[in-house]
Amino acid sequence: MDSVENIRGRELIRRGPFAKLWWANSISSLGDWVNIFATLALAARIGGGGEASTVAIIVPLVARFLPGMVAGMLGGVVADRWNRKVTMVVSDFGRAVLVGSLLFVSTLSQLFLIIVLVELLGLFRQPAREAVVPTLIASRHLAAANGLNLISMYGTAPIGSALFALLTEFGELLPYAGQFGAWVLPAFVFDMATFVASGLITLTIPIKRTLLPERRRMRLQARSLAAPVRDLLEGWALVGKKGPVRRLVWGMAVALLGGGGLFVMGQPFSQQVLEATESGYGALLTSLGLGVTIGMVLLAGLGKNLLHREPIFCLGLWAAGAGIIFASFSRSVISAVGWVLLLGVGTGMAYVAGFTQLHSVVTDEIRGRTFGALYTLGRMALLVSLTVAGVGAVALEGVLPGLLSDGIRAVLFISGVAVLLTGLVTIWAVRSQLRVVFDRSMTAMKDTGQALGTLRHRKSGKP
């Protein structure tokens, strides 16, 4: 087996235990995206077309957000109490079975129930996955690993969309089957295969068991319902306790609350405000993806030199917030693309710096609950943002002066301000780190000046 310390950064996804986890996550994520598009299309088909289908699409969306709000933290408790490898494998195989049952769905209530169960299993897998990452690689590769994980989660979205289109085209050629035809059959079969493949790969990963203190080990041995409840409360107490964990978790959640406005208003902003076509909206999405990639590469390249992660996290939030604010004042797609690129760079920086810091400062025994809390708060923030943004655009129409009299622009502006303020509040909390950075910078400049002065004296022959 390859030694974790001997694996170089460029080999992270070529060999070693992290490479296996990354490929398992990428395959699973690709299946997730295909499943998302397939369930949305199936909901519209069940709705029957017209306005009814528009309302029906809400069902799978709510089914995906609701479990994270209600039971997201339970996934963290499971990750910290049980074997994380087994948790991930059971989640993958369980989701494969549930996705197979989607082939027999005929009502929206059935669709809702199955998606909720699939999401619940996914919620158990996510904290377990994040908790094992620092145990599979050297600490100097954490920033690069988090950048790669972001690519595996969201970089597979356009591939999933294209695959769904191809699979449904193939499904239309199959003999009619089920209540709504066989058009969606290949998509769900493909999704099942990705989950099975992910589970099989995960089975081969050498994941160490968590070494727990005696007090916690005794608690786990006690077969009592009170023990998991105490674990749950400890997890929330950690997130609420003053320190880097609270700053990062709540900072990311509030940033998602503001950034969610862009996801809702992006398409109407492009088409209604900037009067662009579908290609204009595509240009904005491409710019966002490119910016995220640039931000990740910038920080991943620092590796072990990425020491002051929280100030960089704040800098990323500032860039993201400024990008949204300036984009809200754009008068053309070209200028909006530039500002959305800045938003993407800031998002990539904040993600890599934030996740790397959490992986570094949180101990292994509570890492699952920490990321469980992060995913729970993040989903709650996104749901609130998705719910409020559309209503806010209508309510703010004509309220603010100038360009912001447009409700869509106003929502984007307020979203950017929220992200920017989150960065300002967080940087104030870590101002002591800024003093250290400043002092080190001044010392380095002073040493450089002295070295240059000595060099000049030697050239001039002076003692």
Domains and their CATH numbers in the chain: 1-204 (1.20.1250.20), 224-429 (1.20.1250.20)
What pLDDT tens digit does each residue of the chain (463 aa) get?
455 555 554 567 777 888 899 999 999 988 888 888 888 888 878 877 655 555 677 788 788 878 877 777 777 777 777 788 888 999 999 999 999 888 888 888 888 999 999 988 888 888 888 888 888 887 777 777 877 887 888 778 778 878 888 888 887 777 766 566 677 888 888 999 999 999 999 999 888 766 555 555 555 555 555 555 666 666 666 666 667 777 788 787 877 777 677 777 777 888 788 887 666 777 887 788 788 878 877 776 665 555 567 788 888 888 888 998 998 898 888 888 899 889 888 888 888 888 888 877 777 777 777 777 777 777 777 777 777 777 788 888 888 888 888 888 888 898 888 888 888 888 877 666 656 555 555 554 555 555 555 555 555 555 5
The token duo for 437 is 């950075």
**Amino acid code (one letter) for 57:** I
Name the DSSP letter for residue 354.
Answer: H
3-state secondary structure of 213: coil
**pTM flag (> 0.85):** no
Q: Is residue 260 a contact partner of residue 415, using CB atoms and an 8 Å limit?
A: yes
User: Closest Cα to residue 370, out of 245, 284, 241, 263?
Assistant: 245
| CA 373/CA 377 separation, integer angstroms | 6
Cα 353 from Cα 77, distance rounded (Å): 24
Rg (CA), the chain: 24
Nearest to 262 by CA among 52, 409, 145, 397: 409
Whole-number Cα distances in Å, 106 to 58, 112, 179, 181, 352? 16, 11, 7, 11, 42
Instruction: Please identify which residue in the block is written with the tokens 């694996």.
Output: 7
Task: Fill in the amino acid letter for 412.
Answer: L
